[in-house]
Structure 1
Amino acid sequence: MQPLDRFSGHANLYAQYRIDYPADLYDFVLSFATDRQTAWDCATGNGQVAGALADFFAQVEATDISETQLILAIKKPNVTYQISTAEQSPFADNTFDLITVAQALHWFDVAAFHQEVRRVAKPGAVIAEWGYGLVQLGADLDPIMLDFYRNRIGPYWDPQRAYIDDAYATLPFPFADPQRAEFTARRTWSLERFLNYLRTWSAVRQYIHENEEDPIIGLGEELAPTWGDDEREVNFPVFLRVGRV
Structure 2
Amino acid sequence: MPAFKDHFSTAAAGYAAHRPRYPQALADFLADAAPARDLALDVGCGSGQFSLTLAERFAGVVATDASAAQIGGATPHPGIAYRVAPAERSGLPGASVDLITAAQAAHWFDLDAFYAETRRVARPRAVVALISYGVPRIEDAAADAVLGQFHHGTLAPYWPAERRHVEDGYRALPFPFAALEAPRLAIAVAWRLAELIGYVETWSAVRAAERAVGRAPVEAFRAALTGVWGDPEAAKPVRWPLALRVGRAP
TM-score per shorter chain, which class?
over 0.9
Moved more, 1-10 or 182-191: 182-191
Equivalent in the alignment of 1:170: 172
Preserved CA contact (<8 Å) 1:195 1:216: no
TM-score w.r.t. the length of structure 2 is 0.93
Aligned with 1:198 (options 179, 197, 200):
200
Q: Which residues of structure 1 form unaligned runs of 5+?
A: none
Cα separation, 2, equivalents of 1:180 and 1:214: 41
CA RMSD across the alignment: 1.4
Equivalent in the alignment of 2:181: 179
Equivalent in the alignment of 1:159: 161
SS in 2 for 1:235: strand
Q: Deviations over 1:160-195 (max 9, x none)?
A: 000000000000111113334432211111111111
Match status 1:79 vs 2:80 = yes
Cα separation, 2, equivalents of 1:186 and 1:22: 8
Match status 1:97 vs 2:101 = no
Residue identity in the other structure for 2:179: D
Cα separation, 1, equivalents of 2:96 and 2:217: 45
Equivalent in the alignment of 2:8: 7
Determine what percentage of the aligned residue pairs are the same residue: 39
Equivalent in the alignment of 1:208: 210
SS in 2 for 1:238: strand
Equivalent in the alignment of 1:238: 242
Equivalent in the alignment of 2:124: 123
Equivalent in the alignment of 1:31: 32
SS in 1 for 2:243: strand
Deviation at 1:58, TM superposition (A): 1.7
Cα separation, 1, equivalents of 2:216 and 2:32: 43
Cα separation, 2, equivalents of 1:41 and 1:186: 21
Cα separation, 2, equivalents of 1:31 and 1:241: 16
Cα separation, 2, equivalents of 1:227 and 1:165: 26
Equivalent in the alignment of 1:145: 147
SS in 1 for 2:100: strand
Cα separation, 2, equivalents of 1:77 and 1:143: 42
Cα separation, 1, equivalents of 2:89 and 2:183: 28
Cα separation, 1, equivalents of 2:14 and 2:216: 14
Moved more, 40-49 or 213-222: 213-222
Moved more, 105-114 or 143-152: 143-152
Residue identity in the other structure for 1:104: A
TM-score w.r.t. the length of structure 1 is 0.95
Residue identity in the other structure for 2:173: L
Deviation at 1:39, TM superposition (A): 1.0
